[in-house]
Amino acid sequence: MKARSTWPHQHKRLTVADLKPDAPVHQLELVVLRVYPQRLVITPSYSGPVAAACGRDATGVVGLVLWSEQVQDVRVGDIVRIHSGWCRQRDGALVVSTGKHGRMAIVSRIKG
């Protein structure tokens, strides 16, 4: 008899190589390589700071969108974990984000 997971909603950790456009990102860990300057966005669904960033894991590099408090919290060198986010393709490159309903946690930070 095969053992079943005790947590039915537990998902395998994704890698950058696993990402697909227009697909959910259940769990992904990245090292933040660069954070670009923030800009202010005002739309009917969101008003606040947004910053582009990029991160990598052992399998590749991906764009990253930082929203609201993530813009101030995330630094170059941080290892971040994205839960319940999304992946899109923009100008031929993959980009991940937490969107409205996802979460981002800083797993590890280089002391500085």
The fold of the 16-108 domain, in CATH, is OB fold (Dihydrolipoamide Acetyltransferase, E2P) (2.40.50)
pLDDT at 96: 98
50 with 37: CB under 8 angstroms?
no
> What does pTM read for this prediction?
0.85
Query: Could you tell me if 109 and 77 are in contact, meaning their C-beta atoms sit under 8 angstroms apart?
Result: yes
- Taking alpha carbons only, the member of 15, 30, 76, 28 closest to residue 51 is 76
What φ, ψ does residue 62 adopt, rounded to 5°? -145, 150
pLDDT in tens, the chain (112 residues): 444 444 445 667 899 999 999 999 999 999 999 999 999 999 998 899 999 999 999 999 999 999 999 999 999 999 999 999 999 999 999 999 998 889 999 999 987 6
DSSP secondary structure letter of residue 112 = -
